[in-house]
Amino acid sequence: MIVKNPKFEISAVSKKQYPKGNIPEIVLVGKSNVGKSSFVNTMVNRKNLARTSNTPGKTRQINFYNIDDKFYFVDLPGYGFSKMSKKEKIISGNYIEEYLNQGKNISLIIFLLDIRHKPTDDDLLMYEYILKSNLPFIILTNKADKIAITKVDNEVKRIKEILGISYSTILPFSSERKIYVDKVWEEIEKFIK
């Protein structure tokens, strides 16, 4: 897919600010620092459309990026950052739930995990929540550049086993090396027709 004019639209802190209308939403979910904002930048081929950082993001903002009026990438607050206070964790959790519960235009959840690590307890909770939501999802095991290319398939398989899934799409990803981008576009395109 060729993206022409990706635009930041709004940082919503309450339901009322979610965009109106019925443009499909592709939602990024994952713990803080896993690479959600980098993913958005990589997919639309911009350096700084979405703000990336090494420190925990704002815990209550839901950022909507309008992709050529065809769909939104929705960058949810991260969860489970080790430096987050308990209160911050609860706040980010509430915002994630509030957004996912309304679910009106959500056409796909992209769940990001770190290819190098076992999913954390927070990841597993999130995963359960996604399953219960009955919304379509794919899983990306991110930061694949951080391990040897020969190990990628095995690590993906290992994470798949931990999550106990056989049917859903799970792919490696790397914003650093911009690999697997086309494959992920193929998946996304199935959900924005």
Ligand X SMILES: Nc1nc2c(ncn2[C@@H]2O[C@H](COP(=O)(O)OP(=O)(O)O)[C@@H](O)[C@H]2O)c(=O)[nH]1
Q: Where do contacts with Mg ion occur on this chain (CB under 5 A)?
A: 36-37, 57
Structure tokens at 167: 């049917």
Stretch in the footprint of ligand X (CB under 6 A) among 9-17, 29-37, 86-94, 183-191: 29-37
CB of 56 to ligand X, least distance (A): 8
Stretch in the footprint of ligand X (CB under 6 A) among 15-23, 33-41, 65-73, 97-105: 33-41
| Residues 136-157: b if buried by 16+ CB within 10 A, e if exposed | ebbbbbbbbbebeeeebeebbe
Figure out which of the listed residues 27, 37, 84, 141 binds ligand X, where binding follows CB under 6 A: 37
Figure out which of the listed residues 29, 96, 175, 184 binds ligand X, where binding follows CB under 6 A: 175
Which one of ligand X, Mg ion, none is in contact with 54 (Cβ closer than 5 to 8 A by kind)? Answer: ligand X
Q: In 3-state terms, what secondary structure has residue 64?
A: strand
CB of 154 to Mg ion, least distance (A): 28
Q: Which residue is nearest to ligand X (CB)?
A: 35
Q: What's at 65, amino acid-wise? A: Y
Instruction: Using the structure block, give the residue that is written with the tokens 């307890």.
Output: 121
63 contacts 74 by C-beta, under 8 angstroms: yes
Which one of Mg ion, ligand X, none is in contact with 32 (Cβ closer than 5 to 8 A by kind)? Answer: ligand X
93 binds ligand X (CB under 6 A): no
Figure out which of the listed residues 12, 26, 27, 33 binds ligand X, where binding follows CB under 6 A: 33
Tell me the site size for ligand X, rule CB under 6 A. Answer: 20
Instruction: Using the structure block, give the residue that is written with the tokens 């290319």.
Output: 149
Closest CA to 117 of 158, 83, 178: 158
Q: Please, is 81 exposed, middle or buried when counting C-beta atoms within 10 Å of its C-beta (0-12, 13-18, 19+)?
A: buried
CA distance 2 to 179: 16
30 binds ligand X (CB under 6 A): yes
Question: Rule CB under 6 A: which residues touch ligand X?
Answer: 30, 32-38, 52-54, 57, 78, 142-143, 145-146, 174-176
